[in-house]
Amino acid sequence: MLSIYKTTEQGLETIEMIANGAWVNVVDPTHEEIEKLINWGMDMDYINYSLDQDEMARMERDDDYTFILLRIPMHRPESDVPYSTVPLGIMILGNKIITVSRYDSDIFRVLANGKYRLMKTGKRYRLALYIFLETSARYLNLLREINRATELVEDQLQKSTRNREVLELLKYQKSLTYFATALRSNEVMMERVQKTQLFNYYEEDQDLLEDVLTENQQAIQMTSIATEILSGMMDAFASIISNNLNAVMKALAALTIILNLPSLVAAFYGMNVALPGEGQPFAFLTVIGISVGLTAVATYIFYKRDWF
């Protein structure tokens, strides 16, 4: 999908043809769309970098262009790892800016909906900074979602005797690992951008870059804290599951003993030999009383020992 945006007097609008000061956003491009990008001056290698799942964040600069690769967060509930990261290529080429990614993201929709009033497609470097800022904000939002999800799993784990909840936590731990790696990679890239003074044309851009670095650092700290909490939680709940299972086995053992006591008494009086009291009219009730009495005593003992 290829979309072209341009800021006009009416705001950010979608246009049909490439123009000066336009923002070209490409998601999972077809062969025809790739050909268009090449014709507009974007090298095929940079397109491949933007679509490669394993590419890390970095920046490359030449006299004619600036290429920035950013790792952005994604939420895919159907995946084995619900939260992950993917590369986003940002090519500042001549008087236009091109963004390329394999997956669609809320980041593009937020920017296209005009969240940032001062964003103008003609100011290419400022638009890149707003992409950085929205990426950091998206990380923070998804980290809050992960924290809420782990709290729900935590409530289920307190009474669990299965591994399903621990495996669910493992998914979130993998997600946090992906986030931590991507955020550190983004931070290195942004610090390099700051050193090269790419965004020193306007004072507002310098301030915006500082805000981006601050937001990214906050996301790194939140990820680190969440990872430590989740690691400790998984260790603790592995022991809790084991203790819950032991409690179940203890209760079953006590129940087995209690149920066997009446059977033991009945087994003695079921023998085909002479037994004490067999001629008494209340012998049956006596046997029942002995069974009930032994069961009550055993139940009381197990209850006092907290086996139930």
Q: What is the pLDDT of residue 163?
A: 63
Per DSSP bridges, beta strands 23-27 and 65-75 are: unpaired
As given in the structure block, the two tokens for residue 54 are 């394993």
Q: How many CB atoms lie within 10 A of CB 10?
A: 6
The reported pTM is 0.73
pLDDT, position 122: 76
Query: For residues 14 and 28, what is the distance between their CA atoms, to the nearest angstrom?
Result: 19
Which whole number is the average pLDDT over 65-83?
86
For the cut 70, the answer to whether the pLDDT of residue 197 exceeds it is yes
**In whole angstroms, what is the distance from residue 24 CA to residue 6 CA?**
9
Q: Mean pLDDT throughout 154-169?
A: 66
Tokens of 64: 């004619």
Q: Is the pLDDT score of 51 beyond 80?
A: yes
Higher pLDDT pick, 202 / 208: 208
Q: What are phi and psi of 118, to 5 degrees?
A: -85, 0
Mean pLDDT along residues 190-199: 80
Least confident of 76-80, 147-151, 233-237: 233-237
Q: Find the range with the poorest average confidence among 73-82, 136-145, 174-183, 240-249.
A: 240-249
When pLDDT is cut at 50, 70 and 90, the band that residue 158 belongs to is low
pLDDT at 241: 66
Residue 26: CB atoms within 10 Å: 25
Q: Which residue type does 189 have?
A: M
Residue 14, CB-side half-sphere exposure with 13 Å CA sphere:
7
Confidence at 7, pLDDT banded by 50, 70, 90 = confident
For residue 56, pLDDT over 80 is answered with yes
Answer yes or no: are the C-beta atoms of 61 and 50 closer than 8 Å: no
d(CA 102, CA 284): 81
222-265 residue pLDDT tens: 888 888 887 777 666 666 667 767 777 777 777 787 777 787 77
pLDDT attached to residue 50: 86
| pLDDT at residue 308, rounded to an integer | 57
Helix (H, G, I), strand (E, B) or coil at 6: strand
